[in-house]
A = this chain, B = another copy of it.
Amino acid sequence: MAGSPSRAVGRRLQLPLLCFFLQGATAVLFAVFVRYNHKTDAALWHRGNHSNADNEFYFRYPSFQDVHAMVFVGFGFLMVFLQRYGFSSVGFTFLLAAFALQWSTLVQGFLHSFHSGHIHVGVESMINADFCAGAVLISFGAVLGKTGPAQLLLMALLEVVLFGINEFVLLHLLGVRDAGGSMTIHTFGAYFGLVLSRVLYRPQLEKSKHRQGSVYHSDLFAMIGTIFLWIFWPSFNSALTALGAGQHRTALNTYYSLAASTLGTFALSALVGEDGRLDMVHIQNAALAGGVVVGTSSEMMLTPFGALAAGFLAGTVSTLGYKFFTPILESKFKVQDTCGVHNLHGMPGVLGALLGVLVAGLATHEAYGDGLESVFPLIAEGQRSATSQAMHQLFGLLVTLMFASVGGGLGGLLLKLPFLDSPLDSQCYEDQVHWQVPGDHEDEAQRPLRVEEADTQA
């Protein structure tokens, strides 16, 4: 299985050269700019001398591990549902995230923690980089199966920069609250990927249609991803919220929202399913919409009831999206959305942003008490009314959609550069284009040993 020589050469050199270049450039920038922060540097941190507030920083660490586990296991395996694209799904997740972690450490560092000529890194920067990697992986879901690894690295190169700028505009310039990233992560990642997929539209994609479905075992692998996303989402949304009540409330709201979105998803999936049967695609994805929809508001005083209602709504909307909207998206809007990120991240992300507008607009000093300072510092300091905060939240959503769309468009043009190795229309969703793939089953020569034979030989 040799392949034409020129394509093999392209494959052999493009990815290595890009990896060398990106890693080399990153390493140089790290050498010049990146330093341990005062909680990570041996000389700057003083044990025994830290106040209660400093003491609390310990607690970020378990959150980091939870987020880290969720992003890699969750997104990595969720995309393994395709029958012949498991190596690429989990392998490129790894590659993309490994690059995005480093690159976003630099980008976010320049924007957020650059002082005295250096970027200062620590546990928070790891969590922030994981968040950014999450957005990149969401975009990956939209173009899954239709792009090569070199293309994906270039996508990440651009997306990480725009993610950082968008996040900086929202959180620092507009004073928007978005702890779990309904806007900055989910809406941004989804629409960046969808617009990019629009630009890369393949009219002949039906040549690979037969490989676009799942097989029994690949769906079970994907459920590993679903479950890890589901269980660690409370930690994801609460990873950077105020320690104490803020973090616990965020986790609790996310937990309730996910539970309700799961029931909503099962209800709708059976209701609209062929013969009333459930569809694994819905369960794998829409059941998670509850985590997305409270990304902005779960740190707020959403109330447990509010979390349930939001989650149920998100689960139903997301399921209906998979059933009815995804086909329209492809046929009418020419957007081929492999994983349905519009249903899991796009719509629930926008709904989550709007829910954040609503809950922020209802904020009062009575409801938040001393906690107002950590949730809405600008309201607490009297610089803003709740209504003004709500308007800023809404504006943040529009800014995000703008950055995502323009970025996705630019990304699409970048990925269309003619020298980039991209799978043919008939090669999509196929690991063999990128990987040396073993067979599916032991052939005759590999038949299981009959032990009695072997014993006789002895």
Contacts and interface: CB of A to CB of B under 8 A. Distances in A.
A235 B304 CA distance: 26
Interface string A50-84: 10110110110110111011001100110010011
A101 B256 CA distance: 8
Interface stretch (A174-182, A269-277, A395-403): A269-277
A456 interface: yes
Nearest to A438: B214
Interface string A356-374: 0000000000111111101
A382 interface: no
Contacts of A8: 275-276
Contacts of A101: 255, 259
Give the bracket for the number of chain A residues in contact with chain B. 35 or more
Given A46-B370, A53-B48, A458 B256 contact: no
Interface in A367-390: 367-372, 374-375
A305 to B, nearest CB: 4
A44 B371 CA distance: 8
A300 to B, nearest CB: 8
A99 interface: yes
A332 interface: no
- A-B pairs, top 8 by smallest CB distance, nearest first, are A42-B371, A43-B369, A12-B276, A11-B276, A45-B245, A19-B267, A98-B262, A4-B455
A440 B215 contact: yes
A122 interface: yes
Contact of A249 (B42, B223, B227, B305): B42
Contacts of A458: 4, 7, 424
Interface in A236-263: 242-249, 251-252, 255-256, 258-260, 262-263
A3 B30 CA distance: 61
A211 interface: yes
Which of A432, A439, A451 lies at the interface centre, i.e. has the most chain B CB atoms within 10 A of its CB?
Answer: A451
A449 interface: yes
A168 B246 CA distance: 30
Interface in A108-127: 121-123, 126
A275 B12 contact: yes
A168 B29 CA distance: 40
A80 B245 CA distance: 38
A94 interface: yes
Interface string A275-289: 111111001000100
A446 B83 contact: yes
Interface string A403-441: 000000000000000000000101100101111111111
B45 A95 contact: no
Contact of A248 (B122, B367, B369): B122
A283 B94 contact: yes
A143 interface: no
Contacts of A2: 275, 452
A267 B15 contact: yes
Nearest to A271: B16
Contacts of A61: 59, 62, 247-248, 251
Contacts of A276: 8-13, 15
